[in-house]
């Protein structure tokens, strides 16, 4: 790309609030213009960096619409005079035309003068805004239609809870993997990843090739520890997990079960019954005691707790499902949370996997139980550190998939995840929410999200949800509506201005972060050679067997 500005129009009207409008130059083909692009308005003393948010057909004359020109010559002649194209652009940042050494782009507080030139952003403009890639601000993609890095400022990213949204197939898992990989590489925070679908450990299936891509453990080696509740899973044929963990019944609180009420089929009466049992039999004992009972024991319980026998039977049938999760035991050898804490203090990053037990029930219970206890530990350690004036625990980022399960408006106020999201970084703990249904997440939580990475979303409600609390929602909405798979809108704290990117190619990411084990690079290259060979032999056509 040449670093010369291409003029695409002239500013004609608008306001800072509602956005600017420019007339498209006649020598630019409107079909080459697309929403989401970065454009620059050349003011007198400042450059205004803007987002192209809309293109529209305009006529200066009603008559031409009633009686349109018929031949190409007439169309050409009227173009730009009786008909023209209007570009709607949203000013975001401003920067002096001749910046001093330490001038940085800052939010624009006024508009450029009439008829200022509107140009396509150049590589230089983009790197001025998004910086140059380095360890703490890695490149995660490039602006659509441009081949320039867009960098994510990880130092800022770590300071808030963040979210990656997108419908299934939008590329969010791959992007999440890249973001996590860079975070791990930077060591700015420790990561705990609840890996529901087994994509963040050793390898992850690439849906387009069907071949396994290397994942975090393979790329980053011993920086990453794998915990699993299913040590016998075929997932670990090649590499053993570091820790095979169990959860004792005593660790399960009623609130955990309430969160999984839908999955367990619990009713309100059942929940009340649980509280009765807990009161009578002890918080840590009631569950294992209840699960060991059978129907013969119920009359005594009914007598004892003054509960309805039918309700009790139903509750028992619901909770007995926990027995299908073999990692939940009466007694366990050691304390998982202590182990996780130990790893965290040692600076290792944790991928927590579920193997074959990747049901929503198992996932919700485990993620919630562990996070609650970790959060308590973190609060204690942080408070202690503050009191003693020493360094607190390492900042921790907890990644959760299906975030809405933990943060829907009904439960977000009570769950640990809701608390963490709301208290921001007070106790050195933030969340990375991964979700395909952001509309299921509580508004208050959404508005606390620092940086949003938004991929393709189909549902209007989801789009509205991800915009909660953001400025320029109209513009952003248009941009989201135009996203394709593997394109993301990035907006928020870690970015100087919103931008739509093509996500970085995963294999270049692998080449970049890999700890250098030749085998992996070889595998990636080999796959490429294989792919190339495939295309040579079979052409680009994909054969799909249903």
Partner 1 sequence: MTDRIGEVIQVYTTRFLAQSDNLLNPPYFGSFVRAESQGMSIYGLVFNVYETSIDPNRRAMAFGIEREELLKQQPQIAEFLKVEFEAAVIGFNDAGRIRAYLPPFPPRIHSFVYPCSKQEVLDLTEDLEFIRSINSLPGLPVEELVAASIRLAYRERGSDRNFLVRAGQEIAQLLKDEYEKARSIIRRISDGR
Ligand X SMILES: Nc1ncnc2c1ncn2[C@@H]1O[C@H](COP(=O)(O)OP(=O)(O)O)[C@@H](O)[C@H]1O
What does the binding site for ligand X look like in residue numbers (CB under 6 A)? Answer: 166, 168-174, 206-208, 486, 503-506
* 67 touching partner 1, by CB under 8 A: yes
Q: Would you say 399 and 180 are in contact if contact means Cβ atoms under 8 Å apart?
A: yes
Measured distance CA(18)–CA(20) in Å, rounded = 7
Interface with partner 1: number of residues (CB under 8 A): 15
- Choose from Mg ion, partner 1, ligand X, none: what does 82 bind? Cβ within 5-8 Å by kind: partner 1
- To the nearest whole angstrom, how small is the minimum distance from the Cβ of residue 23 to ligand X? 37
Nearer to ligand X, 153 or 203 (CB): 203
Measured distance CA(544)–CA(546) in Å, rounded = 6
**Residues pairing with 451 in the sheet:** 162, 492
Measured distance CA(513)–CA(495) in Å, rounded = 22
275 vs 102, 196, 264, CA distance in Å? 61, 29, 16
- To the nearest whole angstrom, how small is the minimum distance from the Cβ of residue 55 to partner 1? 22
Which 337-376 residues touch partner 1, going by CB under 8 A? none
CA 112, 116, 119, 124 dihedral sign is negative
- To the nearest whole angstrom, how small is the minimum distance from the Cβ of residue 506 to ligand X? 4
> In 159-212, which ranges are continuous DSSP H helix?
172-186
Phi-psi region of 262 (alpha: psi -120 to 50; beta: other; left: phi over 0): alpha
- Choose from ligand X, partner 1, Mg ion, none: what does 174 bind? Cβ within 5-8 Å by kind: ligand X
- Choose from Mg ion, ligand X, partner 1, none: what does 506 bind? Cβ within 5-8 Å by kind: ligand X
* 69 touching partner 1, by CB under 8 A: yes
- To the nearest whole angstrom, how small is the minimum distance from the Cβ of residue 431 to Mg ion? 17
Nearer to ligand X, 108 or 218 (CB): 218
- To the nearest whole angstrom, how small is the minimum distance from the Cβ of residue 248 to ligand X? 33
- To the nearest whole angstrom, how small is the minimum distance from the Cβ of residue 187 to ligand X? 23
Nearer to Mg ion, 105 or 198 (CB): 198
Nearer to partner 1, 81 or 515 (CB): 81
**Residues pairing with 58 in the sheet:** 84
**Residues pairing with 399 in the sheet:** 193, 432
User: What backbone torsions phi and psi does residue 71 show, to the nearest 5 degrees?
Assistant: -100, 170
- Residue from 6, 7, 58, 74 touching partner 1 (CB under 8 A): that is 74
- Choose from Mg ion, partner 1, ligand X, none: what does 76 bind? Cβ within 5-8 Å by kind: partner 1
The interface region with partner 1, picked from 71-79, 154-162, 205-213, 404-412 by CB under 8 A, is 71-79
> In 91-248, which ranges are continuous DSSP H helix?
123-130, 154-157, 172-186, 216-220
Interface with Mg ion: number of residues (CB under 5 A): 1
CA 375, 377, 379, 381 dihedral sign is negative
The interface region with Mg ion, picked from 59-67, 77-85, 172-180, 340-348 by CB under 5 A, is 172-180
* 173 touching Mg ion, by CB under 5 A: yes
Measured distance CA(82)–CA(133) in Å, rounded = 46
Give CA angle at 335 (329, 340), nearest 5°.
Answer: 125
3-class SS at 107?
strand
Nearer to partner 1, 74 or 239 (CB): 74
- Residue from 60, 110, 508, 526 touching partner 1 (CB under 8 A): that is 60
* 64 touching partner 1, by CB under 8 A: yes
* 81 touching partner 1, by CB under 8 A: yes
User: First and final CA of the chain: distance in angstroms?
Assistant: 42
Strands 106-107, 429-435: parallel, antiparallel or unpaired by DSSP? unpaired
Binding site for partner 1 (CB under 8 A): 60-61, 63-64, 67, 69, 71, 73-74, 76-78, 80-82
């Amino acid at each position: 790309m040449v670093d010369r500005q291409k003029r695409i129009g002239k500013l004609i009207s608008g306001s800072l609030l509602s956005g600017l409008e420019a007339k498209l130059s006649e020598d630019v083909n409107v079909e080459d213009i697309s929403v989401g692009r970065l454009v620059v308005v050349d003011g007198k003393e400042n450059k205004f960096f803007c987002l192209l948010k809309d293109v529209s057909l305009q006529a200066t004359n009603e008559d031409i619409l009633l009686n349109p020109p018929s031949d190409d010559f007439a169309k050409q002649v009227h173009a730009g005079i009786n008909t023209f194209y209007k570009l709607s652009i949203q000013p975001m940042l401003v920067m002096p035309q001749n910046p001093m050494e330490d001038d940085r782009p800052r939010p624009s507080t006024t508009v450029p003068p009439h008829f200022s030139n509107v140009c396509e952003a150049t590589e230089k403009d983009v790197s001025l805004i998004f910086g140059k890639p380095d360890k703490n601000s890695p490149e995660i993609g490039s602006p659509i239609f441009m081949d320039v890095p867009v960098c994510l400022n990880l130092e800022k990213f770590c300071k808030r809870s963040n979210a990656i949204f997108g419908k299934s197939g939008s590329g969010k898992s791959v992007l999440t993997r890249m973001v996590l990989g860079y975070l791990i590489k930077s060591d700015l925070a420790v990561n705990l990843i609840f890996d529901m679908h087994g994509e963040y450990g050793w390898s992850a299936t690439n849906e387009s090739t069907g071949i396994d891509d290397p994942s975090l453990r393979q790329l980053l080696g011993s920086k990453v520890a794998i915990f699993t509740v299913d040590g016998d899973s075929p997932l670990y044929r090649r590499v053993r997990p570091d820790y095979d963990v169990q959860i004792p019944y005593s660790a399960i609180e009623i609130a955990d079960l309430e969160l999984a009420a839908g999955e367990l089929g619990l009713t309100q009466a059942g929940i009340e019954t649980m509280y009765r049992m807990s009161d009578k039999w002890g918080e840590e004992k009631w569950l294992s005691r209840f699960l060991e009972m059978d129907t013969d024991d119920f009359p005594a319980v009914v007598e004892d707790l003054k509960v309805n026998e039918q309700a009790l039977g139903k509750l028992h049938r619901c909770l007995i499902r926990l027995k299908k999760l073999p990692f939940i035991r009466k007694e366990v050898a050691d304390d998982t949370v202590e182990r996780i804490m130990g790893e965290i203090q040692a600076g290792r990053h944790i991928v927590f996997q579920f193997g074959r037990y990747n049901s929503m029930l198992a996932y919700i219970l485990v993620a919630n139980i562990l996070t609650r206890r970790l959060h308590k530990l973190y609060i204690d350690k942080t408070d202690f550190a503050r009191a003693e004036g020493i360094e607190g625990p390492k900042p921790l980022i907890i990644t959760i998939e299906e975030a809405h399960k933990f943060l829907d408006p009904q439960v977000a106020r009570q769950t640990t995840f809701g608390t963490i999201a709301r208290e921001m970084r007070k106790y050195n703990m933030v969340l990375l929410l991964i979700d395909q249904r952001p509309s299921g997440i509580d508004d208050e939580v959404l508005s606390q999200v620092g940086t949003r990475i938004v991929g393709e979303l189909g549902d209007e409600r989801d789009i509205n949800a991800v915009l909660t609390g953001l400025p320029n929602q109209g513009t952003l909405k248009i941009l989201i509506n135009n996203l394709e798979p593997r394109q993301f809108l990035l907006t928020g704290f870690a970015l100087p201005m919103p931008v739509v990117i093509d996500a970085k190619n995963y294999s270049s990411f692998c080449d970049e972060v890999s700890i250098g084990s030749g085998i992996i690079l070889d595998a990636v290259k080999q796959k490429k050679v294989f792919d190339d060979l495939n295309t040579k032999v079979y052409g680009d056509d994909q054969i799909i067997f249903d």
